[in-house]
Amino acid sequence: GRVKYMKTVAIKMYGAIEACGDNSAASFSQRLAEAQKTADVIELHLHSPGGDVFEGSVIYNAIKDSKKPVHVYIDGMAASMASVIMLAARKIYMAENAFIMIHAPHTFSCGNAVDLENAAHLLRSMEDNFIEAYCARTGKAKEAVAEWLKGDNWFNAKEAWEEKLIDGIVGASDIKINGTEDDLKKTNATALLQRFEAIAKIN
């Protein structure tokens, strides 16, 4: 019999997740829907410092609800909200020179005491959702995963594999992150992205 080849369609999420632009929930959902029309499998190439938690949550749900399986490839970095988005995929693969960074959700909030209490309450419930998602992926206990949300926690490909965050390691990607791994682990994700955003744009 003839071998039927699976048709894969690749889409990219490079850069911050924002309410407008290519990485907004609306734009991403549209690209995902388009890919689903022809793909057997969708490859999502990820290189992001994270960004808007609400936009990211909509993107997470879109991937989760995709009629076609989505496999994530971390080309450079999946940090903050991007490390949650990746969990919605069926499979997660990581370039051997890429990084994952996990921390608690952040927001900018202003207003009176009640407004701030509401914002804190919302962040705590998001934190619980994130912990559940990391637990479901890794099979780890909540207490262990909760530790990952204290401060910025960086994982190279080998560490991510050992922690069962990913399904496999692929060859090195073209994206170069300047500095040693120790430097990276002291740098916040947005500053880090700026270091190699120029390369991401060229690609």
Structure tokens at 76: 């450079």
Q: Where are the beta strands (DSSP E) in 80-152?
A: 91-95, 99-102
Structure tokens at 195: 């270091």
Q: Is 173 a catalytic residue?
A: no
Determine the Cα–Cα distance for residues 55 and 59; give it in Å rounded to an integer.
6
Residue 153 makes CB contacts below 8 A (sequence gap 6+) with: 101, 102, 103, 147
Strands 99-102 and 153-156 turn out to be: antiparallel
Integer distance in angstroms from the first to the last C-alpha of the chain?
Answer: 39
Considering the candidates 80, 106, 109, 121, report the single residue annotated as catalytic: 80
CA distances from 180 to 103, 158, 194 (A): 20, 16, 16
Judge residue 177's burial from the number of C-beta atoms within 10 Å of its C-beta, 0-12 exposed, 13-18 middle, 19 or more buried.
buried
Considering the candidates 24, 57, 103, 173, report the single residue annotated as catalytic: 103
Q: Is 80 a catalytic residue?
A: yes
| Whether the Cβ atoms of residue 174 and residue 199 lie closer than 8 Å to each other | yes
What is the set of active-site residues?
Answer: 80, 103
